[in-house]
Amino acid sequence: MLYTYRGDETHYAHQILIPSDKQNKSFKLLFRVWDEEGNAWTSFQTLNGTKFVDSSTTYQPNTPITYFSEEQITVIPIRNTDASSYGLSAGGVIEVFRYRDVNYSFQRYTSIDGGTVLNRKWDDTLKKWKDWIKPTNVVFTRSISEYPANAPLTTFPLEKVTILKVGSNFASEYGLDSAGIIEVFRLNELDYGFQRYTSLTGVIKVRNWNPTTNGWKNWV
């Protein structure tokens, strides 16, 4: 499965490749970015898994990208009381995508209610994070009332990422242990559809859609 993220500014463009189950049972991500100078995609690089941290003890707000591990996604929970220090209005989760070349590294913020997703790039000239910007290919759903638990992939809009807020009282209906956010990735080809769950404490799980059984596979 290859997902291409294209915003208004091409230097934010990147691709994430998730190989098929036979090749990649652990769902390890492959990542590459758009090279504006070369006008071509860079080579795919393996991201060495996901690292979850407590922001209050590990990183200060707006920590420079060079402090994060290369070729890794670092997930930082942000409390409401700390949000303004990051230039944000509410708590949530920040995912730091640290590429070997810092010019292509970026952060993605998802608010605690799933209603807001923002991206920002690292400015290696000024040695600081740029302003947050809003992607244009995301559908926000503030509650699960629009979709029943485990709704078929075919009920979600095509070529969009739909974000669902799942409360603790509904988590078990999704086969989950706690509240969090579910991102639904829907492409034209049902074989490539999947969901990504992020708990309020930063735990991430993924599951694919099975067109044969017309149902969701188990979370991994």
- Based on the fold, state whether residues 99 and 9 are members of the same structural domain: yes
Highest average pLDDT, of 71-75, 126-130, 178-182, comes from 126-130
User: Cα dist. 39→4, 13, 34, 42 in Å?
Assistant: 16, 12, 7, 9
- Based on the fold, state whether residues 9 and 108 are members of the same structural domain: yes
At 200, list the tokens: 């309020």
How many domains, the chain? 2
- Based on the fold, state whether residues 20 and 68 are members of the same structural domain: yes
Q: Could you report the per-residue pLDDT of 90-127, keeping only the tens digit for each?
A: 888 888 888 777 877 888 888 876 668 888 888 888 99
Supply φ then ψ for residue 10, to 5 degrees. Answer: -65, -20
- Based on the fold, state whether residues 11 and 110 are members of the same structural domain: yes
- Give the per-residue pLDDT at 19: 53
Task: Among 129, 162, 191, give the residue marking a domain's end.
Answer: 129
- Based on the fold, state whether residues 119 and 150 are members of the same structural domain: no
Q: How far apart are CA 107 and CA 120, in angstroms?
A: 5
At 56, list the tokens: 């209050």
- Based on the fold, state whether residues 15 and 88 are members of the same structural domain: yes
- Based on the fold, state whether residues 86 and 148 are members of the same structural domain: no
Task: Among 108, 129, 150, give the residue marking a domain's end.
Answer: 129
User: Cα dist. 22→6, 18, 25, 117 in Å?
Assistant: 28, 11, 6, 32
Full domain range(s) for residue 70: 2-129
Average pLDDT value for residue range 41-52: 63
**pTM for the whole structure:** 0.52
- Give the per-residue pLDDT at 45: 64
- Based on the fold, state whether residues 59 and 98 are members of the same structural domain: yes
- Higher-pLDDT residue of 202 and 186 is 186
**Strand pairing partners for 78?**
92
Task: Among 74, 106, 129, give the residue marking a domain's end.
Answer: 129
- Based on the fold, state whether residues 110 and 171 are members of the same structural domain: no
